[in-house]
Structure 1
Amino acid sequence: MIEANQLSKTYGDKVAVDSLTFTVEPGKVTGFLGPNGAGKSTTMRLILGLDRPTSGWVTVNGKAYADHPRPMAEVGALLEARAMHTSRTAYNHLRALAATHGISNQRVQEVIDLVGLGEVARKRTGGFSLGMGQRLGIACALLGDPRTVILDEPVNGLDPEGVRWVRDLLRNLCSEGRTVFLSSHLMSEMAMTADQLIIIGHGRLIADMSLEELIASVGADRVRVRTPDPDALTRALAGPHVKVSSEETGVLEVQGLPAPRIGELASQHGAVLHELTPLRASLEEAYMDMTKDAVEYHAISTTTSQDAA
């Protein structure tokens, strides 16, 4: 478990983390989201004792990271996959880490096999691709068989098979009762992986809720309806809390009625339906809505002189 209480960090007059309070519980994947410059990396460094908080505190499994006698058995972290001695082989890189905690060579081989680096374990890491480096970074995080795992962009550089492997790995870790704290900018992947979401902006907490609660916060669910007679169906669905809109001929988007009720009303009025599809807001839509006032860097839309002409 990770617990932060009024956690703050300033660098001169720059406030990187501002009074963050949250709990990351075991048995679930907690996603950590926020725009660039929101304070995510600083927060993770504070959790791991790589920076000291200006005020407040954060503990992992009841203690500050530095107070754990065998920290790799408590916390496994991937913050920078390329943080390795490039002239060492993957096997020797892991052996060096293992030696600091009395971890056996058998465990080194186990994590090598787990992350799929068996064929390249004796090769120097300087020649590794980005994806291979990510796998080695995950192996380092899991080396001590930790109770808590902290991963920053773990699927960066991985192919589709690797992305799916990471997703399954995280679910397995959760099923074992471990704490998993995951930072990523890939909304589609986070939507498939996370149970709980912590969102920050400008160093402050914006949201701490389940994935389902976050998506539901965007607004009412919608239903996509395709019909050869949209005007007749619109009249059939009319009601005080029903909103019907259309941006495509023969296709309606309905808010305020569930799909089964729309089907019943269509049947009662003799309206033909070619499609009846419940729609939900995406995690990306919910995230963009929540962080619209916390984005620090905005791209400026430009047009070429030819476009302007």
Structure 2
Amino acid sequence: MYASVLQRSGPTEPLHHQRVAVPLPGPDEVLIQVYAASLDRVDNYIRQGSHGMAVATPQTLGRDMAGVVTAVGANVRGFRAGDEVLALGSAAHAQYALAPYWHTLPKPPRWSFAEAAALPTAGRTAFDAIANITGLRSGERVLVVAASGAVGSFALQLGVHLGAEVYATAGQDWKRQTACSLGARAALNHYSADLVDEIRAAAGGAEMDVIIDPIGGELWERLLSVLAPGGRIVTCGVTAGARGSLHLGRLMTKGWHIHGIGRPGREEIAAHLRGCLDLMVAADQRPIVDRTFPLAEATAAHRYLEESNFFGRVVLTGAEESSPAP
């Protein structure tokens, strides 16, 4: 089969479209013929060797996939060859990949494979932040930072479905317009020096009950200025930096609840995957796919993601070369 292989990390290093062996499923794994696999910021960081993400190479990147089951391990129940699925696994940027059966779900019939591949990591993260950690309720005000990103786009969709007043930020006009078309009450420029005042004005002077922040860095401290007393903020990314300051006196008097997204165990991840999928289907919503690239053009897809000129997920689709089923 073909896979997109990282031979070594570096800002300008390309990925290599090359033949590798088809993996064999272990007792608890399903082997999936990958029709689509989404690209994540973490994949960017690993390829670049940045954000503390350097790994041993060579390595095939990717976790999120959708496709057709071709083989199952001895302990697998509920799946068989021919099933259309989405999954959170490993080495997904390939024509075949493995996933544990507990992180594998049936693909909704109306979803494309690209849409299904967009869900696992970003969708389950947004669901955990929105539904579990903050327990967002109908009528509450939620600020979704970087709403055009993978997690942000899901958080926006889920927040709207739950009946919250959703406010968004994005760095470009067209992204802000898209966020509003998806149900945001207002969308602000998170690069604006007047962001705090603009958020308050958009909300009629009110503050946010919940903030979902996948950016971090200097912006994190500014966001606290619009967090209501007793409000909840979840950090689920450090794209803009891993450092932020906090005035403990403000924390004490405001009674804020500050959360990291955490690293849940396999049972929790499985529940988040199922919860997000069920909520998206109930809302008749689909994951947002910005653009697809053939697997053979994975390097171009990485460059596109680095430019941040997208809304939703960037997805790799099966390579043009065929490989026989194992």
TM-score using structure 1 length: 0.25
Using CA pairs below 8 Å that are at least 6 residues apart, which structure has the higher relative contact order? Answer: 1
* Structure with max Cα Rg: 1
TM-score using structure 2 length: 0.24
The structure in which a higher percent of residues are helix is: 1
